[in-house]
Structure 1
Protein backbone atom coordinates (compact mmCIF):
# COMPACT_ATOMS: atom_id res chain seq x y z
CA UNK A 1 0.00 0.00 0.00
CA UNK A 2 1.28 3.46 -0.90
CA UNK A 3 1.42 6.08 1.85
CA UNK A 4 1.75 9.81 1.11
CA UNK A 5 4.52 11.77 2.84
CA UNK A 6 4.39 15.49 3.51
CA UNK A 7 7.55 17.54 2.85
CA UNK A 8 9.24 18.92 5.98
CA UNK A 9 8.53 22.54 4.99
CA UNK A 10 4.77 21.82 5.10
CA UNK A 11 4.79 20.32 8.62
CA UNK A 12 4.03 22.04 11.91
CA UNK A 13 7.28 22.06 13.89
CA UNK A 14 8.09 22.35 17.57
CA UNK A 15 11.00 24.33 19.00
CA UNK A 16 12.83 21.10 19.82
CA UNK A 17 12.56 19.94 16.18
CA UNK A 18 14.12 23.07 14.67
CA UNK A 19 17.29 22.47 12.68
CA UNK A 20 20.28 24.80 12.48
CA UNK A 21 19.46 27.65 10.09
CA UNK A 22 15.68 27.45 10.57
CA UNK A 23 13.68 30.48 11.67
CA UNK A 24 10.05 30.99 12.56
CA UNK A 25 7.59 32.37 15.07
CA UNK A 26 6.28 31.12 18.38
CA UNK A 27 4.31 32.53 21.28
CA UNK A 28 6.08 34.36 24.12
CA UNK A 29 4.70 31.67 26.47
CA UNK A 30 7.38 29.33 25.03
CA UNK A 31 10.04 31.41 26.80
CA UNK A 32 10.80 31.63 30.51
CA UNK A 33 13.49 32.99 32.83
CA UNK A 34 14.98 31.17 35.81
CA UNK A 35 16.18 32.54 39.17
CA UNK A 36 19.63 33.28 37.71
CA UNK A 37 17.95 35.36 34.95
CA UNK A 38 18.86 32.82 32.25
CA UNK A 39 16.41 32.35 29.38
CA UNK A 40 14.97 28.94 28.47
CA UNK A 41 12.54 27.53 25.90
CA UNK A 42 9.86 24.88 26.20
CA UNK A 43 10.84 22.36 23.48
CA UNK A 44 7.29 21.19 22.74
CA UNK A 45 5.88 24.62 21.81
CA UNK A 46 4.81 25.06 18.19
CA UNK A 47 6.75 27.07 15.63
CA UNK A 48 5.41 28.39 12.32
CA UNK A 49 7.41 29.83 9.46
CA UNK A 50 5.05 32.82 9.24
CA UNK A 51 3.09 34.48 12.07
CA UNK A 52 -0.40 32.97 12.04
CA UNK A 53 -3.48 32.96 14.22
CA UNK A 54 -2.66 29.33 15.06
CA UNK A 55 0.35 30.54 17.05
CA UNK A 56 -0.62 34.13 17.70
CA UNK A 57 -3.80 34.56 19.69
CA UNK A 58 -2.70 38.04 20.72
CA UNK A 59 0.29 40.30 20.07
CA UNK A 60 2.74 37.97 21.86
CA UNK A 61 4.43 36.71 18.70
CA UNK A 62 8.13 36.06 19.11
CA UNK A 63 10.59 35.47 16.26
CA UNK A 64 12.88 32.51 16.93
CA UNK A 65 15.83 31.01 15.12
CA UNK A 66 18.31 28.23 15.62
CA UNK A 67 21.90 29.00 14.76
CA UNK A 68 25.13 27.04 15.10
CA UNK A 69 25.59 28.42 18.63
CA UNK A 70 22.00 27.74 19.75
CA UNK A 71 18.60 29.40 19.80
CA UNK A 72 18.06 33.14 19.31
CA UNK A 73 14.84 34.93 20.28
CA UNK A 74 13.71 38.49 19.57
CA UNK A 75 11.75 40.36 22.22
CA UNK A 76 9.76 43.53 21.75
CA UNK A 77 10.87 46.55 23.82
CA UNK A 78 9.62 46.28 27.43
CA UNK A 79 8.26 42.79 26.89
CA UNK A 80 7.91 40.84 30.14
CA UNK A 81 9.07 37.20 30.31
CA UNK A 82 7.45 34.80 32.79
CA UNK A 83 9.47 32.96 35.42
CA UNK A 84 9.98 29.24 35.46
CA UNK A 85 12.22 26.38 36.52
CA UNK A 86 14.17 24.50 33.86
CA UNK A 87 13.21 20.83 33.59
CA UNK A 88 14.81 17.95 31.75
CA UNK A 89 14.56 18.84 28.08
CA UNK A 90 14.32 22.62 28.53
CA UNK A 91 16.39 24.38 25.87
CA UNK A 92 18.77 27.21 26.84
CA UNK A 93 18.62 30.43 24.79
CA UNK A 94 22.03 31.41 23.41
CA UNK A 95 21.12 35.03 22.57
CA UNK A 96 18.23 37.45 22.79
CA UNK A 97 17.71 40.50 20.62
CA UNK A 98 15.39 43.50 20.85
CA UNK A 99 13.01 44.21 17.99
Structure 2
Protein backbone atom coordinates (compact mmCIF):
# COMPACT_ATOMS: atom_id res chain seq x y z
CA UNK A 1 0.00 0.00 0.00
CA UNK A 2 2.98 2.27 0.30
CA UNK A 3 3.34 2.71 -3.45
CA UNK A 4 1.70 5.64 -5.21
CA UNK A 5 -0.14 3.20 -7.46
CA UNK A 6 -1.57 1.33 -4.48
CA UNK A 7 -3.12 4.58 -3.27
CA UNK A 8 -4.62 5.24 -6.71
CA UNK A 9 -6.04 1.71 -6.87
CA UNK A 10 -7.74 2.12 -3.49
CA UNK A 11 -9.18 5.50 -4.45
CA UNK A 12 -10.41 4.15 -7.81
CA UNK A 13 -12.15 1.19 -6.18
CA UNK A 14 -13.98 3.29 -3.57
CA UNK A 15 -16.84 4.16 -5.92
CA UNK A 16 -17.46 0.62 -7.24
CA UNK A 17 -15.94 -2.72 -8.18
CA UNK A 18 -14.00 -2.72 -11.44
CA UNK A 19 -12.59 -5.21 -13.90
CA UNK A 20 -8.86 -5.10 -14.60
CA UNK A 21 -9.06 -3.02 -17.78
CA UNK A 22 -11.65 -0.64 -16.31
CA UNK A 23 -9.31 -0.10 -13.40
CA UNK A 24 -6.34 0.44 -15.71
CA UNK A 25 -8.30 2.99 -17.74
CA UNK A 26 -9.38 4.84 -14.58
CA UNK A 27 -5.78 5.40 -13.40
CA UNK A 28 -3.94 7.69 -15.76
CA UNK A 29 -0.36 6.66 -16.47
CA UNK A 30 -0.34 3.21 -14.87
CA UNK A 31 1.09 0.32 -16.87
CA UNK A 32 -0.49 -3.12 -16.84
CA UNK A 33 2.60 -4.46 -15.06
CA UNK A 34 2.40 -1.87 -12.26
CA UNK A 35 -1.35 -2.38 -11.91
CA UNK A 36 -0.88 -6.14 -11.64
CA UNK A 37 1.86 -5.74 -9.02
CA UNK A 38 -0.18 -3.22 -7.02
CA UNK A 39 -3.30 -5.38 -7.11
CA UNK A 40 -1.35 -8.48 -6.10
CA UNK A 41 0.10 -6.65 -3.08
CA UNK A 42 -3.28 -5.15 -2.06
CA UNK A 43 -5.00 -8.54 -2.33
CA UNK A 44 -2.19 -10.10 -0.26
CA UNK A 45 -2.57 -7.33 2.36
CA UNK A 46 -6.31 -7.97 2.61
CA UNK A 47 -7.41 -4.58 1.28
CA UNK A 48 -8.73 -5.75 -2.10
CA UNK A 49 -10.66 -8.87 -3.08
CA UNK A 50 -10.38 -10.57 -6.46
CA UNK A 51 -13.10 -12.54 -8.24
CA UNK A 52 -12.36 -14.59 -11.36
CA UNK A 53 -15.24 -15.52 -13.69
CA UNK A 54 -14.54 -18.82 -15.46
CA UNK A 55 -15.11 -17.46 -18.96
CA UNK A 56 -12.91 -17.32 -22.03
CA UNK A 57 -11.00 -15.11 -21.53
CA UNK A 58 -11.40 -14.99 -17.74
CA UNK A 59 -13.08 -11.86 -16.39
CA UNK A 60 -11.40 -10.63 -13.23
CA UNK A 61 -13.17 -8.13 -10.98
CA UNK A 62 -11.62 -6.29 -8.04
CA UNK A 63 -13.24 -4.54 -5.11
CA UNK A 64 -12.41 -3.23 -1.66
CA UNK A 65 -12.67 -5.31 1.47
CA UNK A 66 -13.93 -3.65 4.65
CA UNK A 67 -10.30 -3.05 5.62
CA UNK A 68 -9.63 -1.49 2.20
CA UNK A 69 -12.61 0.86 2.64
CA UNK A 70 -11.39 1.87 6.10
CA UNK A 71 -8.01 2.77 4.61
CA UNK A 72 -9.29 4.25 1.32
CA UNK A 73 -11.83 6.72 2.67
CA UNK A 74 -9.30 8.85 4.63
CA UNK A 75 -6.96 8.71 1.61
CA UNK A 76 -9.69 10.27 -0.51
CA UNK A 77 -10.11 13.08 2.01
CA UNK A 78 -6.35 13.67 2.02
CA UNK A 79 -6.18 13.56 -1.78
CA UNK A 80 -9.04 16.09 -2.04
CA UNK A 81 -7.33 18.46 0.41
CA UNK A 82 -4.03 18.31 -1.45
CA UNK A 83 -5.59 18.86 -4.89
CA UNK A 84 -7.61 21.84 -3.63
CA UNK A 85 -4.38 23.57 -2.54
CA UNK A 86 -2.41 22.88 -5.71
CA UNK A 87 -2.34 25.69 -8.26
CA UNK A 88 -4.30 24.90 -11.39
CA UNK A 89 -2.28 23.89 -14.43
CA UNK A 90 -3.80 26.71 -16.47
CA UNK A 91 -2.31 29.28 -14.02
CA UNK A 92 1.26 28.21 -14.88
Question: Given the two structures, how large is their TM-score scaled by the length of structure 1?
Answer: 0.25
Larger strand proportion of the pair = 1
* Higher helix fraction (1 or 2): 2
